[in-house]
Amino acid sequence: MDLNLTEDQAMIQDMARKFAQSELAPVAEKLDQEGDRELFLKNLKQLAELGFMGLNIDAKYGGTEAGTVVFSLAITEIARACASTAATMSVNNMVAEVIQAVASEEQKNTYLPKLCSGEYPAGGFCLTETTAGSDPSNMKATAVLDGDEWVINGAKQFITSGEIAGVFVVWAVTDSSLPKGKGISCFLVESTAPGLEISKAEKKLGQHASPTNEVLFTDCRIPKNALMGQLNQGFKIAVGELAGGRIGIGSVALGIGLAAMDYARAYTTERQQFGQPISNFQGLQWMMADAYTELEAARLLLMNAADKKAKGLPFSKEASMAKLFASEKANKACYTGLQLLGGYGFIKDYPLERYSRDVRITSLYEGTSEIQRVIISRELLREIS
Beta partners for 184?
Answer: 173, 233
Longest pairwise C-alpha distance within the chain: 80
Among candidate residues 40, 68, 13, 137, the one with its CA nearest the CA of residue 318: 68
Backbone angles phi, psi at 141, to 5 degrees: -60, 140
Whole-angstrom Cα distance, residue 173 to residue 182?
9
Whole-angstrom Cα distance, residue 55 to residue 72?
10
116: Cβ contacts below 8 Å, ≥ 6 apart: 48, 51, 53, 54, 57, 61, 62, 63, 64, 96
Residue of 366, 370, 379, 383 marked catalytic? 366
How many helices and strands, by DSSP H and E, does the chain display?
Answer: 11, 10
366 labelled catalytic: yes
Beta partners for 197?
Answer: 216
Burial class (CB in 10 A: 0-12, 13-18, 19+), 320: buried
Catalytic residues: 366
